[in-house]
Structure 1
Amino acid sequence: MPHEKAAGDTGHGGAGNAAADSGPPGRGHRYVTAPDGQRLAVRTAGPADRPVLLLVHGYPDNSSVWDALIGELAGEYRIAAYDVRGAGRSTAPDDRSGYRMDVLAADLVAVADAVAPDRPVHLVGHDWGSIQGWHAVTEPRYADRFASFTSVSGPSLDHAGHWFRSAPDGARRVLRQAGRSGYIGFFHTPLVPELLWLTGLGGLALAGTERLGGGPVRPARRTTRDYVNGLALYRANTGSRLSRPAERRTAVPVQVLAPTRDPFMVEQLQSNAGRWVDDLRFHRFHGGHWSLRSRPGAVAGRLRAFVGEVESGTPRRPAARRGGGAFSGQLAVVTGAGSGIGRALCLELAGRGARVVSVDIDGPAAEDTARRCSLLTPGAAARRVDVADARAVDGLASWVRAEFGVPDLVVNNAGIGAAGPLTATPPEDVDRLIDVNLRGVVHGCRAFAPMMAGAGGGGRILNTASVAAYLPSRVYGAYAATKAAVLSLSLSLRGELAPSGVAVTAVCPGLVDTGIIGSARLSALPRAERTRERLDRLSRLGGCPPERAARRIADAVADAPGVLPVNAEARLGLYLARFCPGAVRALARVGLPF
């Protein structure tokens, strides 16, 4: 029989005393009876007439893991947090079968029915709480109990099983995840994990992982009972779910927060949920596995935005295209989007489930790109902006934030070309090159980086440089100078923003058939029009299509390299610049072969 009171009794074969009341001072708890008779300790906070957040903790925590987040949100929402069976003040079953996923999901729904019998709840799960949440929202008979689901550091076991079997993100990432999940096999060994927790060695190891995310982590109020009882979660579920995964889909809006410094999982395991969710919002999040304790304000900000969208009934971001991955439900702002790499990248991102804001000095071209993107993922928008105008770029950033929210990806791609000896290039041409190619990037970074950092980090800024940034030549000195400046700026800004978790990449294309040569300024070259024709022909014959360049760029966003050489000559050029600088200096003296 379940215990009526958990305090002072383990309910699980003497695994240690139950925790004292884990709620904040002055806040009590009540019990909800689960379908099989177990007693679940629930505590509530916040105004009763506000939207209800139901918080489900993971392993080896109890509901106290949510204290900091509750402090951030209690005045805005009705919040309910409960101790999962076997943890905190809740009772524990005597048999491992009492921890199976279907039973855990039934517990979750029983608590939802008790705290919000007349309305759906906004479910928030962390770690094993997310795993339980995924099972509940993908169960058709429970789906109407949930207005939304926010998952922090926890995938569906069934989704994970399919991901491991199909390796959609490549064997390297699957192997990396297998390495990070090695502790699961250890947890299945008899007695040894229990001894580790009972001797305190396990707690010391866990404290080390909590510090990996950076920043102060509030002390966890865990007991030996939480550590030992929760091992049954792994032993009752992981083997069967990962080896025989079911097809589990949901129409419930889902937000996934994937910490960038989580030692237990790679982000692709979580973004893969786009295959199973009609409306997925995937956001990288700067922090470690326990970000809800180390960075509660930033987590609260993401929750406010998501719950606000769902409650309004007019979401800012449309449902992501099923099958999307890391870009599902994300917001991307791309300048220079009216043609070339910019347009191709917009279409590539939209094809992967991102909502795109297309920006260009040519308004009709930007609108045409947005129209095409909307055919892939609805809701793309366009804006005419001259990136050389700092006020215009600031206005763009304010408009994007007000209309769509904080972007996950900003691509400062707008640029112009020029060739000819520097000493013969008109000053106005040099000024325009600097204004667009360099100042345009500076303006974009200054306008968007602070808001991206303030939203929790994890976002990406891509600045388009060029192979010319590290392969100088006598025939494009001014152009190369602006691109070298963009490369240096990007690497410096990458270091500046690293503490906030916003990653900066300098994108360095080689020869790409973008049409930039047709609009490039060649006034300082003899026989300029003949040279233009030959350069244009060379780019068409030898350059890679912009669509291929866009795929390469989109594929690299997750890894966020400091420098991204896009095609073969860009990679070769980077190699020469690093290891054969003498050859690069010699090449700089060579003119055009015509």
Structure 2
Amino acid sequence: MTVLKGARERWVRTGGTELCVAELGDPGRPVVVLVHGYPDSKEVWSEVAVRLADRFHVVLYDVRGHGRSSAPRPLRGGFTLEKLTDDFLAVVDAVSPDRPVHLVGHDWGSVQSWEFVTVERTKGRIASFTSMSGPSLDHFGHWINKRLTRPTPRRVGQLLGQGAKSWYVYLLHTPALPELAWRGPLGKRWPAILRRVEDVPGDGYPTSSLPSDAANGAWLYRDNVRTRLRRPRPDAHAHVPVQLITPLGDKFLSERLYDELEQWVPRLTRRTLSAKHWVPRTRPDRIASWITEFVTAVEVTGEPEPRATGRHAERFGGQLVLVTGAGSGIGRATAFAFAEAGARVIAVDRDPESAASTAGTARLIGAPEAWAETVDVSDEREMEKLAAKVHAEYGVLDVLVNNAGVGLSGSFFDTTSDDWRRVLDVNLWGVIHGCRLFGGRMAERGQGGHIVNTASAAAFQPSRVLPAYSTSKAAVLMLSACLRAELAGQGIGVTAICPGLVNTNITATATFVGVDAAEERRRQKRATRAYGLRNYPPEKVADAILRAVARNEAVVPVTPEARGAHALSRFAPRALRALARLQPPV
């Protein structure tokens, strides 16, 4: 299978080796050079490359000894960072002799690219660098030395943690064993290992050259790692803007490796991604979007755009988030929290003016883009039209927040069938529609995501006056648990948020059954006043939502009373049932 269909190929000779170079896109546009890692070939970038080709001149090359490029002879000493820098400059001189290129590296492609952006002889040839899952060996060496010379319990723990993650590096230094393994059983089983352990799709990658690529590439480690870690360069400062993308589930590299990176990179943009190591294959949409945003900003101004400074900006910057019930209360606060984190926000509400107001404010406080959409979440056809529009105009969601809901209070026998339908249509079916229509596309895309469903403390706290409302929220809680189990293998998290008494307008619009209109208005005012005196702000719920997505939490009770009820439901359910019998004041 050809995974770089339509690419133009050329050969670049350097230092006795021939490099296979592939190009896509308009040669007149800014040049983006993608450098692959170990044990990959340039085809690891195929999904990212095709997404970039509409905007850029995309260049990929097989590192010496990999893919269709020739290997140096002898192999020993043929893969030093100095020689890899020679190769890079030869490729750049061939494809972009008159203007600097934007560099992107993954794994060992990133390791060697750190060399390119920190040595004197490449100055003026590189405009920006995007790094993924590969540290500078010089920075890594200084990181180790600091922890050895000035140990603290935390630093020693970090050192031991990364040492455990680096087990494969020790094996690659053993004579002959890696070559025998890769040319034998490991090379045959590697595609299946990637699918099972890393969630890499089985789409024709890796290519048939993998066994020889991996065997030759062992010299990347042998020629460089011990030398640089023992004697790291003291002047390894980046001379270009750098975008660091850190997969939070990387099994090979600790996040702590980059804690002190600002001292080496004056112009650093940080991103984090809920993914494993092989993000060019598992998250090509997100990677291509961030590269496009970063490169475009550097091309226009010479510097990356100022990033959002919200608490979770590294995690959610640039992601596409849809929030229902975003016109007020928890939904509005959640839309604003994602906006402050730099996400692109779709504010959905049945009130068009409220949705527009939320979207407008979201743009002012940090969202690079924000849109307003009007829909009744209980209407399946309206939701289908909304989903079709969102996917056609904005793309597949990264985060969905099913927040829209209505309140209803009264005894079971005063609650009519119409009352039940109204509550279940919004509180339960609205969540079902959202999960099915938007979550389904997340699953089809195969690049992960997250769904947040707003339940309530009432989901596990029974009450004699909330049978319909509590039933709808309990159903949302169970739906979330079932969906979380189903989607876990696809990298999609599902969270049920369970607030208690929060100061929103739900009480002012809640229905009180079994009473006349005047009494209903009185109870609405009383409930609103009580919630106002409690004064737990919806912004705290929004913070809990972003934190839950970042941590992939399953059930999140919010407010002290919600946490207390959740604990009682697990450890003292009889006490909870006794509380349910109490008649609340009217």
Give the TM-score band, short-chain normalised.
0.7 to 0.9
- 8 Å CA contact 2:290–2:318 kept in 1: the answer is no
Q: Shift of residue 64 of structure 1? A: 6.2
- 8 Å CA contact 1:40–1:89 kept in 2: the answer is yes
Q: Shift of residue 91 of structure 1? A: 3.9
Match of 1:262, SS state, is coil
- Kindly provide the CA deviation profile for residues 176-198 of structure 1, in whole angstroms up to 9, marking residues without a partner as x: 89625534488589x96557646
Distance 1:328 1:438 in 2: 30
Q: Which piece of structure 1 moves more, 149-158 or 434-443? A: 149-158
Written as runs of structure 1 = structure 2, the 5 A alignment for 1:163-312 is: 179-180=161-162, 182-184=164-166, 187=169, 193-194=174-175, 197=178, 200=181, 210=194, 211-214=196-199, 218=206, 220-221=210-211, 222-237=213-228, 256=245, 258=247, 262-265=250-253, 283-285=273-275, 288-290=276-278, 295=281
Distance 1:329 1:195 in 2: 45
Please name the residue that 1:337 is paired with: 326
Match of 1:326, SS state, is helix
Please name the residue that 2:34 is paired with: 55
Distance 1:160 1:248 in 2: 14
Please name the residue that 1:468 is paired with: 458
Task: Say whether residues 1:108 and 2:88 are aligned partners.
Answer: yes
Task: Say whether residues 1:82 and 2:69 are aligned partners.
Answer: no
Counterpart AA for 2:545: I
Please name the residue that 2:19 is paired with: 41
Q: Which piece of structure 1 moves more, 127-136 or 415-424? A: 127-136
Task: Say whether residues 1:578 and 2:570 are aligned partners.
Answer: yes
Please name the residue that 2:364 is paired with: 375
Q: Shift of residue 550 of structure 1? A: 1.2
Q: Shift of residue 43 of structure 1? A: 3.4
Q: CA 1:469–1:85 in structure 2 vs 1: closer, same or farther (change >3 Å)?
A: same
- 8 Å CA contact 1:419–1:524 kept in 2: the answer is no
Q: Shift of residue 398 of structure 1? A: 2.4
Q: Shift of residue 428 of structure 1? A: 2.8
Distance 2:96 2:143 in 1: 34
Match of 1:359, SS state, is strand
Match for residue 548 of structure 1 among 540, 546, 555: 540
Distance 2:193 2:220 in 1: 21
Distance 1:91 1:338 in 2: 63
Q: Which piece of structure 1 moves more, 82-91 or 479-488? A: 82-91
- 8 Å CA contact 1:279–1:329 kept in 2: the answer is no
Q: CA 1:194–1:516 in structure 2 vs 1: closer, same or farther (change >3 Å)?
A: farther
Counterpart AA for 1:89: S
Q: Shift of residue 501 of structure 1? A: 1.6
CA RMSD for the aligned pairs?
4.8
- Kindly provide the CA deviation profile for residues 50-75 of structure 1, in whole angstroms up to 9, marking residues without a partner as x: 9766331223x253663876998899
Q: CA 1:373–1:78 in structure 2 vs 1: closer, same or farther (change >3 Å)?
A: closer
Match of 1:129, SS state, is helix
- 8 Å CA contact 1:465–1:506 kept in 2: the answer is yes
Please name the residue that 2:133 is paired with: 153
Q: CA 1:130–1:174 in structure 2 vs 1: closer, same or farther (change >3 Å)?
A: farther
Distance 1:553 1:407 in 2: 16
Distance 2:174 2:169 in 1: 6
- 8 Å CA contact 1:255–1:306 kept in 2: the answer is no
In structure 2, runs of 5+ residues without a counterpart are: 147-152
Please name the residue that 1:564 is paired with: 556
- Kindly provide the CA deviation profile for residues 350-400 of structure 1, in whole angstroms up to 9, marking residues without a partner as x: 111112111111111111111211112232211122111222222222222
- 8 Å CA contact 2:347–2:372 kept in 1: the answer is yes
Distance 2:411 2:40 in 1: 68
Distance 1:180 1:276 in 2: 25
Match of 1:457, SS state, is coil
Distance 1:278 1:456 in 2: 29
Distance 2:261 2:351 in 1: 37
Distance 1:106 1:322 in 2: 38
Match for residue 339 of structure 2 among 324, 341, 350: 350
Please name the residue that 1:14 is paired with: none
Match of 1:383, SS state, is strand
Q: Shift of residue 79 of structure 1? A: 4.5
Counterpart AA for 1:55: L
Distance 2:522 2:257 in 1: 52
Alignment length (residue pairs): 551
- Kindly provide the CA deviation profile for residues 528-556 of structure 1, in whole angstroms up to 9, marking residues without a partner as x: 44433343233223352111121122112
- 8 Å CA contact 2:460–2:566 kept in 1: the answer is yes
Give aligned-pair identity as a percent.
Answer: 38
Task: Say whether residues 1:438 and 2:419 are aligned partners.
Answer: no
TM-score w.r.t. length of structure 1? 0.75
Q: Shift of residue 340 of structure 1? A: 0.8
Q: Shift of residue 199 of structure 1? A: 7.2
Counterpart AA for 1:179: G
Q: Shift of residue 310 of structure 1? A: 8.6
Please name the residue that 1:539 is paired with: 531
Distance 1:263 1:425 in 2: 53
Q: CA 1:445–1:459 in structure 2 vs 1: closer, same or farther (change >3 Å)?
A: same
Please name the residue that 2:391 is paired with: 401
Q: Shift of residue 491 of structure 1? A: 1.3
Q: CA 1:67–1:404 in structure 2 vs 1: closer, same or farther (change >3 Å)?
A: closer
Q: CA 1:357–1:569 in structure 2 vs 1: closer, same or farther (change >3 Å)?
A: same
Q: CA 1:354–1:159 in structure 2 vs 1: closer, same or farther (change >3 Å)?
A: farther
Q: CA 1:444–1:353 in structure 2 vs 1: closer, same or farther (change >3 Å)?
A: same
Q: CA 1:538–1:172 in structure 2 vs 1: closer, same or farther (change >3 Å)?
A: farther
Task: Say whether residues 1:591 and 2:574 are aligned partners.
Answer: no
Q: Shift of residue 205 of structure 1? A: 8.9
- 8 Å CA contact 1:137–1:143 kept in 2: the answer is yes
Task: Say whether residues 1:495 and 2:485 are aligned partners.
Answer: yes
Counterpart AA for 2:443: A
Written as runs of structure 1 = structure 2, the 5 A alignment for 1:66-145 is: 66=44, 79-83=59-63, 89-91=70-72, 99=80, 107-117=87-97, 123-133=103-113
Q: CA 1:441–1:531 in structure 2 vs 1: closer, same or farther (change >3 Å)?
A: same
Please name the residue that 1:10 is paired with: none
Distance 1:558 1:544 in 2: 23
Distance 1:511 1:151 in 2: 44
In structure 1, runs of 5+ residues without a counterpart are: 1-22, 166-170
Distance 1:403 1:144 in 2: 38
Distance 2:566 2:154 in 1: 24
- 8 Å CA contact 1:320–1:329 kept in 2: the answer is no
Q: CA 1:322–1:39 in structure 2 vs 1: closer, same or farther (change >3 Å)?
A: farther
Please name the residue that 2:149 is paired with: none
Counterpart AA for 1:262: D
Distance 1:400 1:271 in 2: 37
Match of 1:342, SS state, is helix
Q: CA 1:209–1:268 in structure 2 vs 1: closer, same or farther (change >3 Å)?
A: farther
Q: Shift of residue 139 of structure 1? A: 8.8
